[in-house]
Amino acid sequence: MARKPRIHYENAIYHVIARGNNRESLLLEENDKRQYLHIIADYKKRYAFKLFAYVLMDNHVHLLIKIATVPLAKIMQGIQQRFTQYYNWHYHRTGHVFEQRYKAFLCNDNNYLLTLLYYIHQNPIRAKLNDSFNYPWSSHHSYFTGLSGLVDIDFILDILSSNRNHAVSQYCSMIGVPVNKTDFKNEIAAPPQPLAIEVANPPLTWGELINKISQEQDIGLDQLLGKCRIRNIIAARRQLVFYALQNNLLTRQQLAEKLLVTPSRITQMYYQFASQGNNSITKA
């Protein structure tokens, strides 16, 4: 029997759990975790949802998300599909990476929200990881330092107290952080940053981008946008795809149509360029 579609509630808060297929580990490497955070950051910008908390374990993730108008199903479909494309390309494999259906629990109570925050940030402790409070792959760091970034901490901290310092202290007491240790903030690892591209501010437009790459690489626009087997033109097309996707200039489908390839080939080009480590482009 087909599963029933999820009911969409605008501005709802969800606790999301996504596990590796057959509960296998899929986030063993730091770069895999960074890539997952990068994808979340990309879709957060695209779909304007808020991320209240997260933890990335080796074989599953917990997310605490407040959606806006875009349904959670669309958000998670994008995140999971894009990570699957990365993972299968990077590890030369095919097939499912995540269990086919993530779990999502609606949260409509502040006390329950605080309980979820505690539960999510306690995951490394329950897993008995060494130096659990210093685990770098959770949003605990953002709440402990009181600094927002990828995570939107204001909503939950405001529940604890209107005074930010007091709210952080309340959080520390709730989570069980040794707040009496005065140098703890200096010892805790800095929260990991998602993989990022250094770009012009504001980003180039599509027209500016193709003209810039064409001029810098000394190739014609017809070569850049058409099919070609010349090595430097292939490299330029990969750079074009990477920058366009990173800055949401076009979708994979739109890029595929413009470059006369399939959407799956666009994904390959994106990660081929990303793996080279030269991910910057500046505006003249």
For the chain, which residues score pLDDT lower than 50? 1-2, 180-191, 193-201, 282-284
pTM of the model: 0.67
Domain ranges of the chain: 13-187, 206-274
Q: Which CATH class is domain 13-187?
A: alpha beta
Same fold, 13-187 and 206-274: no
Q: What pLDDT digit, counting tens, does each position of 49-92 carry?
A: 999 999 999 999 999 999 999 999 999 999 999 999 888 888 88
> 206-274: which CATH topology?
Chromosomal Replication Initiator Protein Dnaa; Chain: A; (1.10.1750)
Per-residue confidence (pLDDT) for residue 183, from 0 to 100: 40
* DSSP string computed for the chain: -PPPPPPP-TT-EEEEEEEBGGG-----SHHHHHHHHHHHHHHHHHH--EEEEEEE-SSEEEEEEE--SS-HHHHHHHHHHHHHHHHHHHTT--S-SB-SS-EEEEE--HHHHHHHHHHHHTHHHHTT-TTGGG-SSBTHHHHHHT--SSS--HHHHHHH-SSHHHHHHHHHHHHT--TT-TTHHHHSPPPPPPP-----SSPPPHHHHHHHHHHHHT--HHHHHS----HHHHHHHHHHHHHHHHTTSS-HHHHHHHHTS-HHHHHHHHHHHHTTS-------
